[in-house]
Structure 1
């Protein structure tokens, strides 16, 4: 299993980096939409929508929402980011609600229709804003300063930085938890996560965030703001990870799927990312780096 996981990671990692750095945003948005919608398909299964037709209809409705947002964002000057920003803000606010949901573990766990409705709404609030945020961070012509970016590679590097913060935090938490983990973080939801692991993830995410920002050309005076956004991004990514674990606990599932050899489902790989992206985008825009 370990060999399979490593081989899958060696394929996925470089492919993702190359796509982020060199694909135009329209292609990056299409690939991300496909990946996120596959993750949503798995989310719907965890929400106990067993009927394939029902899941297909719900998936197409979310796809239609993405298309409508894109169509409505057209303007005479090209692309207006306002709608994408609003949806990203709604997504970031949703993860605060999700944190409260984690506190009340048993909420919507009784397999009733009303519980499914809450989880369906949660899926849309997680996936669509994350996609909007990804598009804005990667955007070929929109920057946090509201201007045009001459060096597209550097602009695309911001998306890689956001993702690398999450990836580094995940790895840092794993190794720190293995080496020093003593105090459980959320034993009822994810017994293997520890406070020490969280601290290791925070340090790793912070270091990678600062390094990515330096490569992207952030000024020395903005490092404090970047550090704050990096730490906040890590914390929210943990909420995303825990929330998916909560969904799996409610239905007794180990993984969200089996699409990726040795890694489970797509949602297992993007649960932290979908929470982190709206927060990273908003922090970057508010603090102006």
Structure 2
């Protein structure tokens, strides 16, 4: 397992850096659309879609949705409002996801056989992911194209640190199950280890002055990213 993680990291990290720092914004957007389509293909299993053609249709439909949202010819103010509404609704979805994780499997009957709810879950997971990635990459792009890339890299490092810290802490000290009915392998000790390592990374990042953001905004945003990454791993 560890060797697989290391090999995956060795293969992916250079590719991620190239996409973040060297790909033009337009290319980055297209790549994110493709990733959204691949994610939708995987999500199709959650919808009990087994036919390959139907899975492909669902994946292409997601790509079309993302393309329409990005390229829709409306005033920028209206587009920002639309994105803000979607992102706000996604926050509600993540709060619902937290409740569903805590109460699983008691509340599973509310959504398990509902295609409509599962489609909503897909929309409010994959679309905000796309908007967030593109939004961060676009930060200050006209004057410094590396600002958004640095922010995204920081988010990635936080997620990787959370996952890595949880893995090693869980293997070394894990005894108490975090959510045994959802993910039996996750432990409280792993959770603490993952969050602790990510917090250390965030402190180092702040005092390195690589990211020029007020401390309270930086800390709250970082903590939310860490906790959401844990919740995303459980859901």
Please state which band the TM-score falls in when normalised by the shorter chain: 0.7 to 0.9
Quote how far apart the aligned CAs of 1:238 are: 1.1
5 Å-filtered alignment, 1:86-101, equals: 86-101=85-100
- Residues 1:132 and 2:126 aligned together: no
SS in 1 for 2:143: coil
The 8 Å contact of residues 90 and 129 in structure 1, kept in 2 or not, is answered as: no
The 8 Å contact of residues 33 and 67 in structure 2, kept in 1 or not, is answered as: no
Stretches of structure 1 lacking an aligned partner (at least 5 in a row)? 244-289
Which structure is higher in RCO with an 8 Å CA cutoff and minimum separation 6? 1
Find the counterpart in structure 1 of residue 57 from structure 2. 57
Could you give the per-residue CA deviations for residues 63-82 of structure 1, whole angstroms, max 9, x where no partner exists?
Answer: 221121112265489x9543
- The aligned length equals 233
Could you give the per-residue CA deviations for residues 44-94 of structure 1, whole angstroms, max 9, x where no partner exists?
Answer: 1132111223222322222221121112265489x9543333322222221
Find the counterpart in structure 1 of residue 219 from structure 2. 227
Q: Normalising by structure 2, report the TM-score.
A: 0.86
- Residues 1:200 and 2:199 aligned together: no
5 Å-filtered alignment, 1:140-179, equals: 142-143=139-140, 150-179=143-172
Q: Normalising by structure 1, report the TM-score.
A: 0.72
SS in 2 for 1:191: strand
Inter-partner Cα distance in structure 1 for 2:81 and 2:199:
29
- Residues 1:239 and 2:231 aligned together: yes
SS in 1 for 2:181: coil
Quote how far apart the aligned CAs of 1:96 are: 0.8
